[in-house]
Amino acid sequence: MITVGTLDHRRRARFVVLFAAILAVTGCATTRREEAASTEQLLAAAGFQMRPADTPERVAALASMPREKLVVRSKDGNVVYTYADPEKCHCLYVGGPKEYAALQQIGIQREIAAHDPEAVMEWPGWGPWLW
């Protein structure tokens, strides 16, 4: 026999499952946007130039590129690195070997900072108070 209490319990369980699913989907989307924003900040810090997709031709070209991936290309005998973001900024980041080297250096610095915060502060091993 099903009672009113049983129905309420089932409704609560469905609500909890639905709410958890919504949180999971929203969390994944938010994380992806944050990762893209972080990547774009790193590219800009490394000297990559942002080129907006402000014409129909550029929008079409941007849509045909691999999205949110750093791609190496050759143009007129020169190496060019591109990062297409058709969703957030509707733009293309473009850089050469110099900017790519700077991006790698930033990545190395972030890796060091993640494992050894004192190295980033440039303090001696015993702290900042012993000058």
pTM flag (> 0.75): no
Per-residue 3-state assignment (H helix, E strand, C coil) for the chain: CCCHHHHHHHHHHHHHHHHHHHHHHHHHHHHHHHHHHHHHHHHHHCCCEEEECCCHHHHHHHHHCCECCEEEEEECCEEEEEEEECCCCCEEEEECHHHHHHHHHHHHHHHHHHHCHHHHHCCCCCCCCCC
* pLDDT tens-place string over residues 69-122: 999 999 899 999 999 999 888 999 999 999 999 999 988 888 877 776 665 566
